[in-house]
Amino acid sequence: MEATFDALLTQMEQQGFAVMDEFIDRASVAKLREHAQRAMADRAFHPAGIGQGQHHHTNHTIRNDQVLWLTPDTLAVWCPTLHHHIDHLTGWLNQSCYAGINQSEFHLAHYAPGAYYKRHLDRFANNNERRFTVIVYLNDQWCEADGGQLVVYGHAGHHSIQPEAGRLVFFPSDKLEHEVLPAKRPRWSFTGWLKTVRIPQSCCSTNY
């Protein structure tokens, strides 16, 4: 896996983003998608918002997908393979690149036909904790006519990526602008953000 992660980093340096197929196997994709579909049927998804903290709000002119936030523990149960790979990637980033990742957040996303997410950066204006974005798609046999491509604005201009099952997209959350074009069939994905969260000094000190 280390050689694979090296290749990811090389791609990211060269083009501003990295793409890897079969990051997780088909059976793991199918299992995670089934959990997502069941949660959707149970009305556990809710309209996605933009902004953070007190600035968080929904804005359907910018995005109109639905999301379900997952704790790392739930991810570990719903898709142990993906949980393990993300853990492994985080450890590698910390050891090889001194990335200082100490937290993560994850959600599943569902784009109903017609849903989109306009061009944006993943890092909030008032919070620089998000360092890397990790997206894994859960859609079998996606084709051009299905729409829903992820368009990334990399070093060499824009590039369109099909949200195909098992495919990983990886990029720096504060640098790469991207958008999701309107999907024409239900579009399922997992998105994670690897973060560096400053621990307040007072939490680390011990009083003797």
Residues within the interface to ligand AKG (CB under 6 A): 109, 117, 122, 135, 150, 163, 178, 180, 189, 191
* d(C-alpha 74, C-alpha 69), whole Å: 10
Measured in whole angstroms, the distance separating CA 151 from the mean position of its chain's CA atoms is 14
DSSP, res 60? T
Stretch that binds Fe ion, among 44-52, 121-129, 150-158, 181-189 (CB under 5 A): 121-129
Instruction: Report what 180 binds from ligand AKG, Fe ion, none; CB cut-off 5-8 Å by kind.
Output: ligand AKG
| Calculated CA dihedral for residues 77, 25, 83, 53, nearest 10 degrees | -100
What is the rounded CA–CA span in Å between residue 95 and residue 91?
A: 6
Point out the residue whose Cβ comes nearest to Fe ion. 122
CA distance 86 to 103: 12
CB of 188 to Fe ion, least distance (A): 16
Q: For residues 69, 74, 79 and 84, what is the CA-based torsion angle, rounded to 10 degrees?
A: 100
Picking from 19, 165, 168, 187, the residue whose alpha carbon sits closest to that of residue 117 is 187
Looking at the chain, list the stretches that DSSP marks H as alpha helix, in order from N- to C-terminal side.
2-15, 26-41, 72-78, 80-97, 201-204
What's the min distance (Å) between Cβ of 174 and ligand AKG?
A: 13
Is 65 a binder of Fe ion (CB under 5 A)?
Answer: no
Decide whether 76 or 177 has the Cβ nearer to Fe ion: 177
The nearer residue to Fe ion, 33 or 178, going by C-beta atoms, is 178
- With CB under 5 to 8 Å by kind, the binding choice for 135 among Fe ion, ligand AKG, none is ligand AKG
Taking CB under 5 A as the criterion, the residue among 32, 65, 79, 122 binding Fe ion is: 122
Nearer to Fe ion, 31 or 193 (CB): 193
* Count of residues in contact with Fe ion, rule CB under 5 A: 1
d(CA 189, CA 113): 14
Minimum CB distance to ligand AKG smaller for 76 or for 161: 161
Residue appearing with tokens 């639905």: 66
Q: Which stretch binds Fe ion (CB under 5 A): 45-53, 61-69, 115-123, 169-177?
A: 115-123
Tell me the closest approach of the beta carbon of residue 146 to ligand AKG, in angstroms. 13
The contact set with Fe ion (CB under 5 A) reads 122
